[in-house]
Amino acid sequence: MDRYRTKQHRPAQYQRAALSQRRIRLILGFVMCLGLAYTAGFGVYRLWDVLQRTGRGQPLGVFWEAWDQVEQTFYGELPSPSERTYGAIRGALALLEDPYTTFVEPQPSKLDRDRLRGTFGGIGVTLWRDAEGRMVLSPYADAPAERAGVREGDVLLAVDGEEIIAETMVDDVRARLHGEVDTPVTLTLSRPPTPPFDLTVIRGEIQIPSVTWRVLDQAPGIGYLHVEGFTGRTSEEVVTALQALQAQGIAGLLLDLRDNSGGLIDPAVTTASQFLGDGIVLTELRRDAAARTFPVQGGGIATDIPMAVLVNGGTASAAEIVAGALQDYGRAPLVGEPTFGKGAVQLIYDLSDGSSLHVTSAIWLTPNGHRIDGQGLSPDVAVARDDGPQDVQLERALEYLVE
């Protein structure tokens, strides 16, 4: 029963021993704090500054006091230092009540950076889980995987000897396949009736197209331009697509921004500028700074062509910026459904362990001062999505252009 007594009831020798133990724990806690701070990407100088400012018994001390009790008494398995740190960061960020200020662990963060760049070192495959839970591959045309012998429908069993199990996440496998150009990665594949075999693929530069285009079969004079997201390659791809469509003599254009979740702001400004002669594309409001406007860039190559913009509930962020600018200037009607309503700016801070911190730092307004965040854009021509074989939203936009 002695171990459950309060301090004031302990004999002097126990108090001295307890004091010594507390000092040891304090030193160990400080060392652990240094290690965790390094893991999370904070410098030692920053941690020391925090310790100096908070002082013993203040919030940081309470944290370690509480965790000390967890380590001594918790029945289950304790999280690793990195898991503990990541959890603490997420818990603190949750207090901000902002869904877009987030912490992203190293592997998802790397995939996100690759997506925004529009290019990465990899083997060029699409991955998914089939109905039986197997990891299935589909190689890109003329990509390193296809050239090395990967076939459509091959089942991935392991990467560099690390087995793919039921709990393995698709994003984790994608991260393993990404890497420096000209480096090898060994795939263990299943292709019945052939026994499982290893195939080594040399990674190459994989480009992720963000834009597709064509002249519509049902309306030969109308070009169709679909922007899936705004990456570092989008500006160049949009210009290439417009030049190709104009070379085919189009008389109108459908810009499809449906299910475009956004991306980088600069390519969005460049894209909007292809269709606008002058003015601004958006206004950015920050907490402690004057409003900043993003002017239309000169030299747009499609400023006069009749057009309409397709939007839906998946049109968000930078895509809403483009749609809002074209709507405000009367350049093109929005056809479809109300947009998502994400008009907030996230600054992305890469931390030392490969993780990243996304912090909401500003909000966006359309040229007419309409706040996008939490409100979205209302279509000029409302058309609900239909699950039938026809794309009723596209058909209605075509009617607008040819009527």
317 a catalytic residue:
yes
Tokens 């939203």 -> residue:
393
Phi, psi of 241 (to 5 degrees): -65, -45
d(CA 211, CA 45): 45
* HSE, side-chain direction, 13 A CA sphere, residue 340: 17
Q: Name the active-site residue from 328, 355, 356, 373.
A: 328
Neighbours of 28 (CB within 10 A): 12
Q: What are the start-end ranges of the H helices in 12-159? A: 12-40, 44-54, 59-73, 81-94, 106-117, 144-148
Strands 162-163 and 252-256: unpaired
Encoding tokens for residue 30? 């400080």
In this structure, which long-range contacts are made by residues 29-35, counting pairs with CB atoms below 8 Å and at least 24 apart in sequence?
29/64, 29/68, 32/81, 33/60, 33/64, 35/81
Per-residue b or e along 316-329, where b marks 16 or more CB atoms closer than 10 Å to that residue's CB? bbbbbbbbbbbbbb
What is the separation of C-alpha 56 from the centre of its chain, rounded to a whole number of angstroms? Answer: 39
342 catalytic, yes or no?
Answer: yes
Which residue in 210, 235, 273, 317 is the catalytic one? 317
Q: Is 299 left (phi over 0), alpha (psi -120 to 50) or beta?
A: left
Q: Say which of 210, 256, 273, 342 is annotated catalytic.
A: 342
Catalytic residues: 317, 328, 342
